[in-house]
Structure 1
Amino acid sequence: MTSAEPRWLDDEQAEAWLALVSILEVLPAALDSQLTRDADLTFFEFLVLVQLAEAPGHRLRLSDLAAATHTSLPRLSRVVARLEADGLVAREADAQDGRTRHAALTEAGWRRLGEAAPGHIDLVQELFVAPLSRTQLKQLERIGQRLLAVLDPASEVLAQTRRATGGRPGLSRPPTPSQD
């Protein structure tokens, strides 16, 4: 820690920062509210299901799933336990290493994801897509990529989803296991 004077934000920087922080505070509650009402899922649980839907074989090692959802293993374990109790995912031992556990999307998980996705996409359209022009969306994508290059240089967060280009289950196409 240095005793040098902080590099204070100018007014334009402060306004941009406050806009982003305000979005970060308001958006998660809006997403959670809709998903809880429509599908009895939190946004985080929805992300877990989406990551499993995107994964090869619709299963991921728990450590990879934790990285993809940017959470700790203990938090992920609690969420996976709830999803498992609801029959939406199954925990499985790795065939080569019995100490390693995977989460796999079940048929019930596919159905719940299918129930949750339309309302979620409607909300994304309303809150994110409709207020912005195509040019602004492209600018926001480029801004997001620049920030993520600093915040997530290994590109672990939502890795499968961000790498996909031809339809993402529950985001740009209906989530069905037969479309792999």
Structure 2
Amino acid sequence: MTSARWLDPEERQAWLALLAVSTLLPGTLDAPLYREGKLTLFDYHVLAMLSEAPDRSLPMSELASRTYSSLSRLSHVVKKLQGRGWVERAQCANDARVTMALLTEAGMEAIQSLAPGHVEAVRQAVFDGLDRRDVQDLERIGKKIVQQLEPGSWVLREPRLNA
């Protein structure tokens, strides 16, 4: 039996802070989205990823990757969003084995309507308490953790807008 690699006091404090953020943030961001659009943060994230994609469409497997979701969870949410007329599914024109998720015009209108309130909630919950250096550190540290959890993550390849 190997001995545990216990966290030192500094690591423990950093872990507890990260755990608190990962526990508190989703509920904080879910609440206004649910009030305004009867959506969860995950639902919104699916719509946002589609809204940013070329032609507002992605293969379901790529959308699952971009939302850090299983295909079964994503399929359930896409079905719910289809019921609202915000997303459609279609076969890929180049490969009939691939299912595409497409953001409809109504879905684009919904995300555009919800985005200002969501961005304000994100700003209040996260960025208003940080300076520019903190934001850079948050990105750097977040990407290091993602690299360990999911080395091929799209977020690691995402170009910086103001680089």
Common fold: TM-score over 0.5 = yes
Note closer, same or farther for the CA distance 1:164–1:85 as it changes in structure 2 (3 Å cut).
Answer: farther
- Aligned sequence identity (%): 40
Q: Which residue does the alignment assign to 2:159?
A: 163
Q: Which residue does the alignment assign to 1:69?
A: 67
- Aligned AA (2:62): D
Counterparts of 2:82 and 2:134, CA distance in 1: 40
Q: Secondary structure at the match of 1:12?
A: helix
The Cα shift of 1:147 comes to 1.5
The Cα shift of 1:95 comes to 1.8
Equivalences for residues 140-179 of structure 1 within 5 A: 140-156=138-154, 158=155, 162-163=158-159, 165=161
Structure 1's consecutive aligned runs of 4 or more residues displaced over 4 angstroms after TM superposition are none
Are 1:85 and 2:70 counterparts? no
Q: Which residue does the alignment assign to 2:53?
A: 55
The Cα shift of 1:94 comes to 1.5
Instruction: Please tell me whether the aligned partners of residues 65 and 153 of structure 2 are also in contact (alpha carbons under 8 angstroms).
Output: no
Q: Which residue does the alignment assign to 1:46?
A: 44
Q: Which residue does the alignment assign to 1:175?
A: none
Q: Secondary structure at the match of 1:104?
A: strand
Note closer, same or farther for the CA distance 1:159–1:79 as it changes in structure 2 (3 Å cut).
Answer: farther
The Cα offsets for residues 53-102 of structure 1, whole Å up to 9 and x where unpaired, read as: 11111101111111111111111111000000100011111123323210
Counterparts of 1:34 and 1:100, CA distance in 2: 34
Are 1:114 and 2:136 counterparts? no
Instruction: Specify every segment of 5 or more residues in structure 2 that has no aligned partner in the other structure, as ranges.
Output: none
The Cα offsets for residues 8-44 of structure 1, whole Å up to 9 and x where unpaired, read as: 1111110110110011111111111111111221111
The higher-RCO structure (CA 8 Å, 6+ apart) is: 1
Structure 1 or 2: more helix by fraction: 2
Q: Secondary structure at the match of 1:138?
A: helix
Counterparts of 2:14 and 2:35, CA distance in 1: 32
Q: Secondary structure at the match of 1:91?
A: strand
- Using the size of structure 1 for normalisation, the TM-score is 0.84
RMSD: 1.6
Counterparts of 2:119 and 2:19, CA distance in 1: 23
The Cα shift of 1:159 comes to 6.9
Q: How many residues of Structure 1 are paired with residues of Structure 2 in the alignment?
A: 162
- Aligned AA (2:159): R
Instruction: Specify every segment of 5 or more residues in structure 1 that has no aligned partner in the other structure, as ranges.
Output: 167-180
| Of 104, 129, 132, the match for 2:130 | 132
